[in-house]
Amino acid sequence: MKDFLGAALSGLCAIHCAASVLLVAGGGTGVFAFIIESEWIHTVFAALAVLFAVLSFPAAFRLHQQVAPTVMGTVGIVLLLAGLVANPTWEMPLTVIGAGMAAVAHLWNRNLVNKLEVGLA
């Protein structure tokens, strides 16, 4: 469940980042634009992404003993966090790539754990 939520959150993070750029480029205004571009929402997404990564990757690694998904997820989270502090040119690419890597790593973890649970690994 943690990996599914982590993947969903990472996907939402990537969508949010891409949507906010498109919204601003399209001249979007109003409450939705204000919320989507607010700094606090970036902090909330990042904090939740880190929380799910910390809860998920070490526990899954202990089960399946494969380091690659954990490394991929960690690199993804680091890129996502780098996007928070990067200049505007690098913010979207770092965030989208990082969130995508974290989402794939969460799904990879879930797949490996599922294989163990049904005795296929």
**How far is the C-alpha of 82 from the C-alpha of 91, rounded, in Å?**
8
Q: What pLDDT is attached to residue 30?
A: 57
R_g over Cα of the chain:
16
- Beta-carbon count within 10 A of 37 CB: 15
- pLDDT tens digits for range 36-84: 666 777 788 889 989 999 999 999 999 999 999 999 999 999 999 998 8
**How far is the C-alpha of 83 from the C-alpha of 56, rounded, in Å?**
22
Label residue 20 by pLDDT band (50, 70, 90): low
Tell which residue, 75, 43, 55, 67, has the closest CA to residue 3. Answer: 55
Q: What is the mean pLDDT of residues 9-34?
A: 64
Query: Per residue in 54-81, is it b (16+ CB within 10 Å) or e — as a string?
Result: eebbeebbeebeeeebbebbbebbebbb
- pLDDT tens digits for range 74-114: 999 999 999 889 998 898 899 889 989 999 999 999 999 88
Structure tokens at 33: 């634009």
For residue 119, pLDDT over 90 is answered with no
Q: What pLDDT is attached to residue 102?
A: 92
Indicate if the alpha-carbon torsion angle 34, 37, 40, 45 is positive or negative: positive
